[in-house]
Structure 1
């Protein structure tokens, strides 16, 4: 298969208003190709000075974008969606270079992101206010939903294009301007999106891109010109975001980690359950996803069968060069992620947290990149790190249960609450467990692709606030009550 050359990557830079900067006060970052470990670009990073310039540009652009004819705003978002789809091949190539996603699996993310822009374009001009009942003839009381202002958006490295769709589309649809901080090791997707948005007619300053690390994140979260922050990342980073934002009393949306339970009952479709356990729990993003079903809870009556099938399927996965058409699992995104996963697995083996059934090592012949074999642990201790903490790698933890109550207890017994999954043909059980599971979303007999019309978000240490649907739009609007006396 012909490799796409690194020239597909956009020029590393900061985009602030109409300006493009090739250096920043936050220094620079050597971006390494996850598949080879080799440096393929040097990314300039923002610091406090560039954050301030970006917020200033966004505030200057805000009145014009807020007051733009609604039909024009809608058309710009629709054109952005069209251009994302048209650019799918290049965006997929960028994702492969940037995160090591197998190229043949990276393409659909463009359509997903475009769907969010199409969906929220449809809300423009339709998300009206409310009239409040008062005594007839005395007054008119109504509610206006207005844009918040300037949004500080911080996205993760594991799925930047989808994150842009989930955050930027509703923010722009509501009439806000945005300062986006992509992580230093995953900035190319955001920069390419900025190019597409500008070509679609988005005015300068409405969307600004400032790659960086904490030197940009902290001043962005604490900037008095930021009206709301939307953040996706780890709980550890979220605590820093909240602490900094609290100084300016800036509201925050948090979409954090997960340790989602995938519960399989004897009456479930075992073929589908095994396929999902391996495909979503190990293969997708090489396990680097917040809502992935990384805990497999299996009823004792079918435990041995399911474990054998999952372990066998995991051993058949092709891990390797993300440009090869037979590859289904690429490398981890960074050397730090590889070290983290390796450390967790080694410790679990040493302390007997579970029985290692497969993997647990770097695959032979792939030492140049950040590869790790799909790893399966059985009979995992429910109190162990394997069962309790987000690993963010291709590591699946399997636990036994004997009853519905025990399954719910095990599923809820973590600090997270992002998603949960159930495999059963029993309609009563499906509804009962959906109500009992502590999660922002529950899927029965399937793995959702986060529909743009549905609310997505977590509870507990998985965050708060929602992305998607009217709920996601309202996150980027402020509520104003207007009372007009008539007597």
Structure 2
């Protein structure tokens, strides 16, 4: 396909599926603001995809106030009605799956063959079932009769940030549990992929989500900070890089707004000599340097192989990466598209150039001229004999780059794997069951895969430790991020007191308000 044909195809698909660039506030589309617009360049063709409005403080306040207005009715809605709405959203995403995949392919370069909507559907289905499953806790009390119980309460208005590399699945991971718990959400869309979540907002409304429960604001750093600083925002959920996360925490700390952070990783992947080398090498190569063009926070980008099979695994990994079909993400046969932007390609290639001085180049990453017009295609890079303390081994590249290094034994492998500031995911390949369990226990990370790259099912908690963030998405832990516990205690008179009133517990001080004191007890 030449440049002219690629441009024609992308323009035709954009005209078919791209939503009108707008902010979504209380069910209304806002197409212009005082702050102007931002441009989104199609990473495949290098041409303007569309311009979209930047939300300012006025639009932020409108969205938050709409959420505050919608919240009382939403949190009190009958559980079966709210459950039905979440289920309907899952069905609506399923019905629009092809359309959403095309939008994401245009704005991010993720191939149609990769998709990702199944994860979004899974999360809305799963958390639809949680709407009526939160059970309170009855607390045993002493020294007298009392009813002491705990309820789970929604925060109110939640601010959600999603990353560019999987905007719709990542949005679903946050929206579904937040809605199920009874919260309203103001979502800040990614600057590099705003259109998928714009369409998601429309789909949610069409599926019956009441106006104000979800608003989607596009914009820049200033927009995001304005949302966090709004006094009616009760919690922030952020997925992205560590540098931006520190900024988010700094702004949230001004008002002590709680945050949940899912951040980057530099995940280790351990292959022992007794592993299925074909399967292990296939997973290692595809899920680090091919899938999503390496732009995944939990990808196994540090490959550590036992010395006895090290050279053999290098050959297998190289064969996989060099055979990957790279091309137009709208081509159903393409497994790998461009990286998100030209700036990202420059940064990735700069890191590869620096690593060449110290590591052995197995497959040489370089910019690819695909005849599609864009300048964002980067060939997969495999580097061997990497020093585990080097920048390429310690810093998240977020691109199609795999760093390989040998290890002697299990003890050294675990030590190398854990010697990073990150702790999002880790992987181990072995047919020794005892070793598998020992390694999973010894790896310091929140997400462990044994002989596989496990699917991010909605049923399982996902999140990191150390510089990879805190808090969890998925499972019961995921919905608990969007509620707080409220304890209510009601004390009753003892039978011998008659109807005089409750017992006041003091430290032997004289009773006040005519209530009998119980020596040795204090109320505060």
TM-score bucket (shorter structure)? over 0.9
**Corresponding residue to 2:146 among 117, 139, 143:** 139
Residue 59 of structure 2 is matched in structure 1 by: 50
Residue 80 of structure 1 is matched in structure 2 by: 89
**Corresponding residue to 2:75 among 43, 57, 66:** 66
- Structure 1 residue 312 corresponds to structure 2 residue 312: no
Residue 111 of structure 2 is matched in structure 1 by: 102
**Corresponding residue to 1:382 among 388, 395, 400:** 388
Of 352-361 and 19-28, the range deviating more from structure 2: 19-28
Residue 362 of structure 1 is matched in structure 2 by: 367
Give the direction of change, closer, same or farther, for the CA distance of 1:406–1:25 in structure 2 (3 Å limit).
Answer: farther
Equivalent positions of 1:11-410 (< 5 A) are: 11-106=20-115, 109-135=116-142, 138-349=145-356, 352-366=357-371, 368-410=374-416
Displacement after TM superposition at 1:26 (Å): 3.7
SS of structure 1 residue aligned to 2:201:
helix
Displacement after TM superposition at 1:55 (Å): 0.8
| C-alpha contact 2:428 2:450 (8 A) present in aligned 1 | yes
| C-alpha contact 1:23 1:44 (8 A) present in aligned 2 | yes
- Structure 1 residue 481 corresponds to structure 2 residue 487: yes
Displacement after TM superposition at 1:463 (Å): 0.1
| C-alpha contact 2:282 2:316 (8 A) present in aligned 1 | no
Displacement after TM superposition at 1:172 (Å): 0.3
Show CA shifts across 1:152-188 (max 9, x none). Answer: 0011000011111110000000000000001122111
Cα distance between partner residues in 2 of 1:397 and 1:49: 47
SS of structure 2 residue aligned to 1:105:
coil
Cα distance between partner residues in 2 of 1:152 and 1:78: 22
Of 83-92 and 14-23, the range deviating more from structure 2: 14-23
Cα distance between partner residues in 1 of 2:342 and 2:34: 25
| C-alpha contact 1:25 1:49 (8 A) present in aligned 2 | no
Cα distance between partner residues in 2 of 1:125 and 1:102: 37
Show CA shifts across 1:6-39 (max 9, x none). Answer: 0201110001113211123443111111111100
| C-alpha contact 2:345 2:378 (8 A) present in aligned 1 | yes
| C-alpha contact 2:263 2:464 (8 A) present in aligned 1 | yes
SS of structure 2 residue aligned to 1:470:
helix
Of 336-345 and 70-79, the range deviating more from structure 2: 336-345
The unaligned stretches of length 5 or more in structure 2 are 2-8, 494-524
SS of structure 2 residue aligned to 1:123:
coil
Displacement after TM superposition at 1:137 (Å): 6.2
Q: Which has the larger radius of gyration?
A: 2
Residue 455 of structure 1 is matched in structure 2 by: 461
Cα distance between partner residues in 2 of 1:364 and 1:15: 38
Displacement after TM superposition at 1:135 (Å): 4.0
SS of structure 2 residue aligned to 1:209:
strand
Of 280-289 and 236-245, the range deviating more from structure 2: 280-289
| C-alpha contact 2:321 2:380 (8 A) present in aligned 1 | yes
Show CA shifts across 1:344-390 (max 9, x none). Answer: 111212xx231111122112444623100010000001111110000
SS of structure 2 residue aligned to 1:237:
helix
Cα distance between partner residues in 2 of 1:426 and 1:165: 37
SS of structure 2 residue aligned to 1:103:
coil
TM-score, normalised relative to structure 1: 0.97
**Corresponding residue to 2:417 among 411, 420, 423:** 411
Cα distance between partner residues in 2 of 1:260 and 1:473: 26
| C-alpha contact 1:45 1:184 (8 A) present in aligned 2 | no
Displacement after TM superposition at 1:98 (Å): 1.0
The Cα RMSD (Å) is: 1.4
**Corresponding residue to 1:6 among 14, 20, 43:** 14
Residue 445 of structure 1 is matched in structure 2 by: 451
